Structure 1
């Protein structure tokens, strides 16, 4: 928004979980968007994720470095076209490490996984934990496009207590330490709220993780 009645500021949602508004400037957002468009192309491109129970996730996904599927990792798209997963770029890893330094004042080990989720206006993400990695390094999340409600909860249950955070294009969210295995999800996306200059319909979430493998 051009004018904020109450300007947004950095906030620690719970110990170890930090929201940094507007961390990505307009130029970096455009660079990330163009990279995402390339990664989304086949082979090993954007796919619909199917759950073991036979359902499907409404957010579509593409992976870099390691391919995530419910509930593990592989070097090929085992639940898609079978192609080798696209490589994880060093520059994206450095961006993630810079993000953790900014948010938590720490330097994590090198990142080697990116999960990129695309949300259209009807997509959601249920409460879940990022627990398939063998590392407890912080998770880094970049938002592009439409604004969403990001629900950040506790480590014991999908239910309350949780905090709803508004994530806009360019925002950074990092969670590690005691908050690393907290349940979180996206209950709502606000269609048409992306910055017009980005020319993106929908929301992209780029999540970086350390596999520990």
Structure 2
């Protein structure tokens, strides 16, 4: 279970997550000046240059004998770098640096780049930095660990218990996960009511159900409360 943290300006990670540093596109034509690339030399070209010294080249630069492409950044010997540089070619990675692009280009890049092919300021942080950011965030409902928590295994019996008691949101969670449903802020008060009802009904399901699902209900309640307080949507994963 999680909240849509970017719905709120109070989210400590929003600035970083919405700051797109670079995007990956299939064809960088027209964006070459701001596109990242590797300088490479095909092995065939390198063998022509070093000829009888090929084994020495491999040893000096700690390359495997089966290498197929020479990446210039991996060449350690300065003399070898000087020999290879004239025949090195640019191999574009597909990544385009947004700061190097014009405003018009940046707008176009955001249109053509898949959302999953973007690098934001958030991805550039270390895990420790991410953790510290989450600890300080007002929207961090999971004991300071963040705004994403587990609902439970796929075979959780809680949705069935909810369905038996006519509680539509909790009953729909397995389908909501598959369909990647985002619940509205207006659904949060309903979820809080369903949690209340489930707490009342759980004892009738047995002590095992109480032990197994009480923690889940606590997390559902925290998620719903954050949704109401900060006006953010929520979803299940």
TM-score tier by shorter-chain length is under 0.3
The normalised TM-score by structure 1 is 0.26
Q: Which has the higher helix share?
A: 2
The normalised TM-score by structure 2 is 0.24
Q: Pick the structure with greater CA Rg.
A: 2
Higher RCO (CA-CA < 8 Å; seq separation 6+): 2
